[in-house]
A and B are shown apart, each in its own frame.
Chain A
Amino acid sequence: MEEQAFRQAVEDYRDVVFRIALTYLRDRADADDVAQDVFLKLLKSDGHFESWEHLRRWLIRVTINECKSLFRKPWRRIEDIENLADSLSAAQDETKVVLSDVMRLPERFRVPIVLYYYLGFSTSEIAELLHVPAATVRTRLARGRSKLKFILEEGDREIQSNQAGLRVHPSR
């Protein structure tokens, strides 16, 4: 990829990549490493993307793959969630509480919640990204919302129930 296009891609998508990595890894340093590796792969790619949206999806896909590779280390220790939220955001306390609550969720609930409510993917799209059935995504969203103790306002986005055209993958 040419440097100018690469710099623009990093400028546009570094936060998205970093936030997804952070969602998986719950560690700022690990997330930073993943973001670095993802954009290095982009730099080394042939750079042939049909659109900016194609590039965005490619980056998210590669980020998820990188995170899956790193997440489940036997010796890895999860960082303190409250301190993580403090270190990430200079925003209001309410925002830190939200981050803490989401980050405290187990990965199988945390990641779909963020992909759905932050990045705006449909359940079918999340299913493809995570290689799990859409029904599983819906189940995890429902349980994730339940575990957040508060019911996310309905009407923001309806959870899709259409299961047509799904690929079938056991979760890894």
Chain B
Amino acid sequence: MNIFNRIKQLCGGKTREEVPFKILFAEFKKSLELNNQILDLIADANDKLSGDYIFDEQYIQSTCRQLTDLIRQLIVTINHLTDQKYTDLYTSFHKIEEEIEALLRGQALNQVKDLILPYNEVSRDLADSVGGKNAHIGEIGSLLDLRIPAGFAITTAAFALFLDENNLRDRILAIRRRWQDCEIAVDDASRQIRQAIMSGEVPKKLKDEMLAAATYISSQYTETTPCFAVRSSAIGEDEISSFAGQYLSRLNIPLDEIPQAYKEVIASLYSPEAMEYRLMMDFRSHEIMMAVACQLMIPARASGVLYTYDPVRPEQETMVISSAWGLGEPIVSGEVPTDTFILDRRPPHEVREMRIVRKDETMVLRGCGGLAIDGVAEEQRTEPSLKSEQLHDLARAGMQLEKYFKRPQDIEFAIDPRDQVIILQSRQLQLQQARAPRACDLSGLGGKYRILLRGRGTAAMEGIATGPAWVYTEGRDLADFPMGGILVARHATPQLARVIHRATGFITDVGSTTGHLATVAREFRVPALFNTENGTEVIEDGREITLDTECLTIYEGIVQELQYYAIQEEPIEEMYEYRLLRRVLKKIEPLNLTDPEADNFTPEGCRTYHDLTRFVHEKAVETIIDLNFYHAHHKSTQAGQLLWDYPLDLILIDVGGGISGEHEKGIRPEQITCVPMQALLRGMSYPGIWDMAPAGVDFSSFMSSLTRTSSVRSTSPEDVGRNLAVVSAEYTNINFRLGYHFTVIDAYVSDNILDNHIYFRFSGGVTETVRRDRRTRLLAKILSHYDFLCELHGDIVVARLKRMDKGRMLHRLFLLGLLVGFTRQLDVKMVSESTIDTFFEEIRTIMEKEHGRE
């Protein structure tokens, strides 16, 4: 709708002008209050994923319902405020609410509707749609920096589509019934079902998507043969080992034969063995599904299997690698003799034993479309099939996978023509000896091992970690951080997340469990203990240590009892409640609407509760400005734009005694009679604070985009200023959006101490998380120093102050002015840790100069 229509609508209706500003403003403030409650609740829910809390399903349900309730109120509020302009929000809201409710009821376990999912979009949470094999390999490729085959998953939705379009469900069911009623033998039933599947047509949509995905992958890897492996990735296959061998894999399939191979693979779901197994296990029809993995074929030089523990002698602390030349199929099935390498589990993973056998035959690709058994070149027959670098890379990959999945791993790999290690599959390895200690055997460890630290710290991610300590000090290069090390640092700064792929643990003296590093540690499941106070002092660089976050204990040396205990225990993040919380948070926490100018910044574009919250906040501020500035309907209010030397587009709305004199052409600072606003502007305009100088060539355009919320090109009021201050003689409520920073200040200052309050909330920023985190800590340091009660939720800073005398309140509003003016540049200027102290001192000096020591 263009602006003229909007004005017409706003002026034409009699409704808006009759609503007193007081009521609208109360609605507006309510929306802010709801906004804050929602964001805090979301941050707290994420914190529960640290594993440090005991929570149950009840908690997840009540949190979701609380959020749902708050969001509903928020939408009601914005519609009151805008005369029902955003009723479309209800549609998006109900959709999200329904999805969350379905998850809470245990339904729709992440069943996707996509037929095809590329590996970079696949994770374990999608196992119900893509099968275990795809889910694991996708997660390895996207979260750990290991190589996996290029490929995509064909989902259970594709399987369902295939059955439906070919009307196969009833036919299969009928055949199964006849078999179960003993009318036909299992072999007959199996053959009939497989024939029915093979005579079906792959639906056109599915075929097109398969071929498009495969063609895209081929185009990315032109130097290799564009042939594919089409493998089963059945639901639950990796968990039920007796199932794994039952299904078909088709290798070296040319692109145009993929649909045919797909049918063959899904038909193998009905092998006689699998059918009998499912009958025994009482599988229901809707549980019999298959997803399929389609991977670019790797013309492997060598292939093999790695066990991260020797399954029969785990106490040897070794890993075992078996390998031979060529493709892996005959190696995995034990058809050819293999070389065996025994390596130390601990870095640098020395080779303890090597048994090289004579390898006469190998399986190779025969052009595109076939396989052949070939003779091995004479000189290679007695050569080791793996080079020492490859052994080392494999060992590192193995430890990484074990650390990530928190279980000993059984890994299939290939060595590609460029001698690189490719991970084909990783699953849990069953150790033969149940020799892990029980929890109650662990209480006496303190007598056996030296304790470096106990009873201090907060677990940002639960778990047990062992490895060499690497103490980070400023200036030390994180690139030198060793594989398998435990990072020990003063602050839990986001930049430390750079070593996430190599670290087995994090320990910091100071840190927030809702900060970026904590979130990353949770995502990558790396145990992390923050706030140990003096970890950096008591832990010696280079020493091996063991971290147990649950007991808040750090031991000197490797505590093997804990190590064995850890791989035996079910990782907490695998527990149902954790999985459920992660699932519902996906519908709640992500923010897709980051740019108010973007096309998706609409009610329909809202896909999560966070999106809805963000959208409403933006529109609430915009509405108050629109109604009171561009169309001054309220006789009780006056509005105008601040005329200032600084590039701040601020709309002031006076609800009583906040502005004096005439203001048709704008409001000059000296016309402001609102006491708290005066103090704030004095701070914001303090010499040097509002840095007008260009901040360096690369930042100049960036900075200019920050300083003006309006675009100079445009005169449309909708694009102009979203900075709003509602003022009266003693009160102000301010909403700033300076670029991507959001600041809310609500202050009342009078002679009555009991009524005085200041509320300050700051969030956002476009620079990388490291500097944002420094800014957050700087703000918290300054505000706490000046008596504010500070709360940090991620990079949101909330500060409150109450019941102080007028003079001190105004000093603090001056301070907030300094900070608002200053923080515009802070993100980009906070280039090192030491800047926190420098800026803190700078601000304190100004404060003392202005107001003296308090």
Bind each other: no
